Structure 1
Amino acid sequence: MQIRIHQIRPGMVQQIQSVCVECQGHGERISPKDRCKSCNGRKIVREKKILEVHIDKAMKDGQKIAFHGEGDQEPGLEPGDIIIVLDQKDHAVFTRRGEDLFMCQIVKHGDFKCVLNEGMPIYRRPYEKGRLIIEFKVNFPENGFLSPDKLSLLEKLLPERKEVEETDEMDQVELVDFDPNQERQCHYSGEAYEDDEHHPRGGVQCQTS
């Protein structure tokens, strides 16, 4: 440590402490003739060292890998450690949660997906398999699952309906729920109507002797 005293004016001085330029605060000075050409007496040299980091499978985000004694070194002090912290990158398809992988994909009703080589074995080619084909079915909500006022709110959240231009060739009809028994009733009514046309029913005929 160096101490310098400056006289500001008669009867007033200023004392300044600073690090010694010669020893850099170490309390030791090496003669220029004895100084190392690489460090110039500082006892420390800069050195680049390549460390190979081995990342094992299943290592997690934020996990640390330590290289003991590979940090900065100074005379009289224990060298420090280099700590590598793993930063897991996001994947475009998969999301990791612990030991599990999550995958999200939007499918539509009637979509087909397949897994290659997971179907039935191919005849006389036992090492080859067909495809495992998966058809996706979407269960739609039943009628009346929402009240009319909530249906109107739901309709506001959905895309707008496409307007259909009406032409003179179009007929406006009513769409009703399908009833499989309705066709039979119409069929029986039609048969009765046709029977009346071919065999008209009248009153009681008079008998003749």
Structure 2
Amino acid sequence: MKVSIRQLGPGMIQQMQHPCNDCKGSGETINDKDRCPQCKGEKVVQEKKVLDVVVEKGMQNSQKITFPGEADEAPDCITGDIVFVLQQKEHPKFKRKGDDLFLEHTLSLTEALCGFQFVLTHLDGRQLLIKSNAGEVVKPDQFKAINDEGMPMYQRPFMRGKLYIHFNVDFPDSLTPEQCKAMEAILPPRNRSQLTDMELDECEETTLHDVNIEEEMRRKQAQAQEAYEEDEDMHGGAQRVQCAQQ
């Protein structure tokens, strides 16, 4: 280290300490004639190296691939590692959860009741024929699974997870009276009310209307927050008046 002393005024001295310019605080210098022409006495040289990052089948998101001792080197220091962290890109159709894959598929009401089949292009380009069993009815929000069609398992590439298909059913917006009669002829009978005509006459008739439940909840939450703030203002004002009277 280098110590500098400076006179600031009568009886005032400033002392400063800073690293030596020649050795940069290392306590060692190399004569110009003895310096390596390549590193110029710095003991390290710049080098370009190509690292091959091998992503094995089944590796997970945020999994690390480490190259030991490949980080920047410095004299008298242990060289660190270069660590690559995998970032998995989102797929527009498939969603990955561990070793399993999830897929959304929408069926028409006819397909859900009478059977369906469709061709699915898998991630590796294979064409899979997906079809229902004879007489099977698929309910809305139902899941079905296909074994060994998920992601390959890490370090066990010949084993795979499952492919889960989440089925949505697209219902028609309305039916004509003729369609209703045709449907009633083949579907199980409706669950009609057990009330008598006299009892039905005493009931008040209601009207159902469509609603966006998410928007409705947001509106109610905003109204509740506004009422809470108004209540806080009223109580705060009363408290301030009471303090002024004291």
On whether the aligned pair clears a TM of 0.5, the verdict is: yes
Determine helix, strand or coil for the equivalent of 1:106.
strand
Matches within 5 A, 1:41-120: 41-111=41-111, 112-115=116-119
Stretches of structure 1 lacking an aligned partner (at least 5 in a row)? 117-130, 159-209
**1 CA distance for matches of 2:88 and 2:31?**
52
CA distance in 1, matches of 2:106, 2:118: 15
Q: Secondary structure at 1:16's aligned position in 2? A: strand
Would you tell me which structure has more strand in proportion to its own residues?
Answer: 2
Candidates 206, 212, 219, aligned match of 1:157: 212
Task: Please give the residue correspondences for 1:10-49 in structure 2 after superposition, counting only pairs within 5 Å.
Answer: 10-49=10-49
Pair 156,77 (structure 1): closer, same or farther in 2 beyond 3 Å = closer
Structure-2 separation of matches of 1:91 and 1:55: 18
- 1:65-113 CA-to-partner distances (Å, cap 9, x unmatched) read 1111111111222211111111111111111111100011222223553
Change (3 A) 1:133 1:80: closer
Read off the aligned partner of 1:91 and give its amino acid letter.
H
- Structure 1 CA distance for aligned equivalents of residues 110 and 48 of structure 2: 61
User: Hey, what's the Cα distance between the residues in 2 that align with 1:82 and 1:19?
Assistant: 31
Instruction: Choose 1 or 2 for highest CA Rg.
Output: 1
Deviation at 1:2, TM superposition (A): 1.1
Contact 1:65–1:83 (Cα < 8 Å) also in 2: yes
Residues 4 and 108 of structure 1, relative CA distance in 2, 3 Å threshold: same
Cα distance in structure 1, aligned partners of 2:208 and 2:138? 23
Q: For residues 10 and 41 of structure 1, what CA distance do their matches in structure 2 show?
A: 44
Higher helix share: 2
> Which AA in structure 1 matches 2:28?
E
Structure 1 pair 157–77 and aligned structure 2 pair: CA distance change class (3 A): closer
Gaps of 5+ in 2: 121-128, 140-170, 172-189, 193-204, 214-246
Q: CA deviation at 1:132?
A: 6.8
How far apart in 2 are the matches of 1:21 and 1:65? 40
Label 1:65 to 1:133 Cα distance change in 2 as closer, same or farther (>3 A). closer
What percent of counterpart residues are identical? 42
Change (3 A) 1:103 1:132: closer
Q: Distance in 1 between matches of 2:48 and 2:23?
A: 26
CA deviation digits over 1:45-76, x for unaligned, max 9?
22221110000000111111111111111122
Q: C-alpha displacement at 1:134, in angstroms?
A: 5.2
- Over the residues paired in the alignment, what is the CA RMSD in angstroms? 2.9
For normalisation by structure 2, the TM-score amounts to 0.49
Residue type at the aligned position of 2:212: L
Cross-structure match for 1:190: none
Asked if 2 retains the 8 angstrom alpha-carbon contact of 1:114 and 1:134, the reply is no
Q: How many residues align?
A: 138
